[in-house]
Amino acid sequence: MIVKVCVGSSCHLKGSYAVIENFKKLIEKYNVSDKVELQASFCLGRCSTGVTVLADDRFIDGVNENNTEEIFVKEIMSSLK
Ligand code: FES
């Protein structure tokens, strides 16, 4: 799965750097580095609900520093084969 975290200006201001750092740690913690590829992305066009994450072709809105793990488990781990 390719997980793109928006680093456009709006999402950047809402903490996308911290979200990326959290995702990196979670990928290690859950030992899924062979299944999840983390990328940064330019604006994904959903600035008002950012930080925006795109997991393959599925948008996940409202990610922040504090809910990253919850979202990772619910939206990403559950979709991995
Ligand atoms: S800046 Fe992230 S969706 Fe626009």
User: Domain coordinates of the chain in residue numbers?
Assistant: 2-79
Q: What is the pLDDT of residue 30?
A: 97
pLDDT tens for the chain, residues 1 to 81 = 999 999 999 999 999 999 999 999 999 999 999 999 999 999 999 999 999 999 999 999 999 999 999 999 999 999 997
12 CA to middle of ligand 1, Å? Answer: 8
pTM to 2 decimals? 0.96
Q: In what order do the strands lie in the sheet with 2-6?
A: 37-41, 2-6, 53-55, 58-60
Q: Which atom of ligand 1 is nearest to the CA of 10?
A: 1
Distance 41 CA to ligand 1 centre (A): 9
Nearest residue by C-alpha to atom 1 in ligand 1: 8
Q: What is the DSSP string of 6-54?
A: E-SHHHHHTTHHHHHHHHHHHHHHTT-TTT-EEEEES--S-GGGPSPEE
Task: For residue 42, report the distance from its CA to the centre of ligand 1, in Å.
Answer: 7
Tell me if the bond preceding 51 is cis, omega within 30° of 0.
yes
For the domain covering 2-79, report its CATH number. Answer: 3.40.30.10
